[in-house]
Amino acid sequence: MRVIRGLPSALERRDCAVAIGNFDGVHRGHQALLAEVCQAARVRSLTPAVITFEPHPKEFFGATHLTRISTLRDKVTRILACGIERVYVLPFDAATARLTPAEFARSILAEGLNCRWVTVGENFRFGFENCGDVATLTELGRHYGFETFITPMLFHGTERISSSRIRAALALGDIDEASRMLGRPLSMTGRVVHGAALGRNLGFPTLNLFTLPPGSHAEPAVKGVFAVRVKGLDPLGGRYPGVASLGCKPTVSTEKRWLLETNVFNWAGDAYGRLIEVEFVEKLRDEKKFSGLDELKAQIARDSERAKAIFGFRNYRCSRTIETAPATDHLNKAGSFSTMQT
C-alpha cells in the first residue's frame, strides 16, 4: 500500500481501477464506493486506487467557513483500511482548476494513471468551473479506454449519507449521529507536539495535536470540549478516558491555529512524538473566552468532573506516575473505569 503525492512516474504506473473524490470523513457512502473499486479491481486484475486532492478544492477557491471532518492522515489511513492499494494525493492548484473535463480524463486518468475503470458518486462534478458531470465522464471514458461506474447514494434514514450531513450533525454537537453515518466512532490521530505548558501549570497537563496544516483556511468540523478516549499510550492498545478541547484557545491566544488538547485521566508520562488516537465520546460544551486563567481553571475542573461522570468514575484520584492496567481496554464490562489506587 502506498501514498503518492502527485502522479506516479512511468515506471510506477499500474493499470488501475480508480475512485475519485475528496473523501472527507471516509463515511459509509465513501466506504461503499471504495468497496466497488476493490471488487472491480479483483475481477479485472487491476490495482485498486484513489485520487483525492489537497488542499480541498473549495479551500483553493477561497470558500469561507470551510470545515473538515478528517485530517489528511486520518483520511488516507481510512482509505487504505478499505483495501485500496494506492492513494494519489494530487495538488489542487491553478493548473488543476483550469483543466477541462477532456484534459483531466486524458492527462490524469488515461495517461497519468493508466486508469482502466473509474467510479464516482452520482453528484460528481469535475473540470473547469465544474462543467463536467457523470455523463461527461462516461463519454470520455469511451474515448480514452476506461469504464465508468456510478456508485449509487447510500441513505441513513430518509436522507443520503454525505460529508455535509455529518458536518451539520457535528455543528449541533451530535457525536452519535455523526458516528452512525461514519460507520465508526469519530476520532482524530496525530503525533503529540510540545505546547505552551499552560495546562500543566493549571494542574491539567495535556497531550497536544495540531489538526490542520499551517496556513490552512479551513476549520475542524468538530470543535469544543469533549469527553474522549485516547489510544496509543501503551503497547497493549489501552483506551484511556479523558477530557479534550479542540479550538484556538481564545482566553490566552489571538492566533487562529486549531489545537486538540487532551487531559488523560489516571495517566502521566512523556508522549512527545508518539502517534495517538483521540476518540470523541460526548460533547460537553462549546469553546469560549474566559475573563482570566482562574475562571478558565475552574471551568476545566468542571469539564473534567463531567467527563469522569460519563465514564462512571468512582473514588477517582489522579496519579502523578505512569499507570498501565493489564487489560487492553481501561473500561470494564459495565462501562466504568477501572482505576489503580496509589
- Per-domain residue ranges of the chain: 2-159, 185-310
pLDDT, residue 340, reads: 29
Amino acid letter, 45: S
Separation CA 275–CA 192 (nearest Å): 7
Name the CATH topology of 185-310: Elongation Factor Tu (Ef-tu); domain 3 (2.40.30)
pLDDT, residue 324, reads: 36
Distance of CA 95 to the CA centre of its chain: 27
pTM, entire model: 0.85
Indicate the CATH number of 2-159 among 3.40.1370.10, 3.30.300.20, 3.10.20.30, 3.40.50.620.
3.40.50.620
pLDDT, residue 90, reads: 96
pLDDT, residue 186, reads: 97
Alpha helices in 256-338 (DSSP H): 293-310
Separation CA 229–CA 289 (nearest Å): 25
The angle formed by the CA atoms of residues 77, 217 and 258, to the nearest 5 degrees, is: 65
Judge if 2-159 and 185-310 fold alike in CATH terms: no
pLDDT, residue 60, reads: 83
Buried b (16+ CB within 10 A) or exposed e, 13-42: eeebbbbbbbbbbbbbbbbbbbebbbebbe
pLDDT, residue 325, reads: 35
pLDDT, residue 236, reads: 85
Task: Give, for all 342 residues of the chain, the pLDDT tens digit.
Answer: 799 999 999 999 999 999 999 999 999 999 989 999 999 999 999 999 999 999 888 888 877 778 999 999 999 999 999 999 999 999 999 999 999 999 999 999 999 999 999 999 888 999 999 999 999 999 999 999 999 999 887 777 778 899 999 999 999 999 999 999 999 999 999 999 987 777 777 778 899 999 887 778 889 999 999 999 999 998 888 899 999 999 988 787 767 789 999 999 988 788 999 999 999 999 999 999 888 889 999 999 999 999 999 998 754 443 333 333 333 333 333 333 332 222
Q: Are 228 and 244 in contact (CB under 8 A)?
A: yes
